[in-house]
Amino acid sequence: MKPDQSFEHIEGVTHFPGNGQSDKPVCIMGSIHGNERIGAAILEELKGLLASVDLRSDVYLILGNPEAYRQDVRFIDTDMNRLFGINRDVISPGDNIEEKRIAEIVPALSESCYLLDIHSTIKPSVPFVYCEPDAKHIALATLMGVHYIVSASPNFTPDDLVTSADNFVDRRGGIGITFESGWHKDPHAIDDVLFRVKLFLQKTGACDFGLVQPENTTSSKHLTIYNHVVPQSTSFVFSRDFNNFDAVMKDEIIGNDGGTEIRAERDSFIIFPKKDIQLEKIACYLAHVS
């Protein structure tokens, strides 16, 4: 079915109406961080693909941050994927690029019962999914075929972990999934990610591509973020050059913060270690196996 024109005036938002058999609209978003190129490429593929299939439910395709995408930067004024806090449920157009963009896409996001938000990395990295830990989220997350599915503990909710687009859809009773799809220069990336996105569209009932969900060759490890490391001095250093998902043992020294040793309180995985360490800004998260 051809895209309808109700969203045509909004750059980078395409709406494909469904045939009414399912009333659960699905949103696929990409490149909310403009330098993560895979998302935008997937959306282009989907535009052609969805025009020629019978959709049961409405599908929205959203290019997250078109201006940042044009400039091939993560963001122009603010990290757009940290702007979906509680107050975003009542939108007032802001005055920076990302705030304005949020106001533009919220109508489509608000309609959506499902969101797959596609990210990628500018350096080789392990693909993973970030989402809530309940069965409905995990069933969709598992489709992405990743080694790690990361959730935050309900007892641990710093701003960084509750202000992304998936959180926005979740708060409205939908299911939001953030898919960190890996390195965007991986030559297989587009085909692999497109396959996963088609599985997602199929599982959510938007359309039937006749695909069979493959047996995952490795089962996904479910990790729960339970704490973070926040430097209290300007001389904080990690004990080694951590990569995402590096394991540390209970009591292992993670870093030194102005003379104080920072140790893991239990066997953990290092999540999102920052290269650019800043005083009182999160240096990394710690997760345990769920």
Q: Which is nearer to Zn ion, 184 or 198 (CB)?
A: 184
Q: Which is nearer to Zn ion, 82 or 263 (CB)?
A: 82
Q: Which is nearer to Zn ion, 82 or 221 (CB)?
A: 82
Is 37 a binder of Zn ion (CB under 5 A)? Answer: no
Stretch that binds Zn ion, among 32-40, 105-113, 142-150, 194-202 (CB under 5 A): 32-40
Please state, as a whole number, how many other Cβ atoms lie within 10 Å of the Cβ of residue 6: 12
Q: Which residues touch 204 (CB under 8 Å, ≥6 apart)?
A: 24, 26, 57, 113, 114, 140
Q: Which is nearer to Zn ion, 57 or 178 (CB)?
A: 178
CB of residue 119 to Zn ion, shortest distance in Å: 3
C-alpha to C-alpha distance for 275 and 45, rounded to whole angstroms: 34
CB of residue 121 to Zn ion, shortest distance in Å: 8
Q: Which is nearer to Zn ion, 36 or 166 (CB)?
A: 36
Binding residue for Zn ion (CB under 5 A) from 33, 37, 137, 198? 33
Q: Which is nearer to Zn ion, 117 or 257 (CB)?
A: 117
CB of residue 87 to Zn ion, shortest distance in Å: 22
Amino acid letter at 108? A
Stretch that binds Zn ion, among 27-35, 237-245, 258-266, 279-287 (CB under 5 A): 27-35
Please state, as a whole number, how many other Cβ atoms lie within 10 Å of the Cβ of residue 272: 18
Contact mark string toward Zn ion, 88..127, x via CB under 5 A: -------------------------------x--------
CB of residue 142 to Zn ion, shortest distance in Å: 21
- Residues in contact with Zn ion, counted by CB under 5 A, come to a total of 3
Residues of this chain that interact with Zn ion (CB under 5 A) are 33, 36, 119
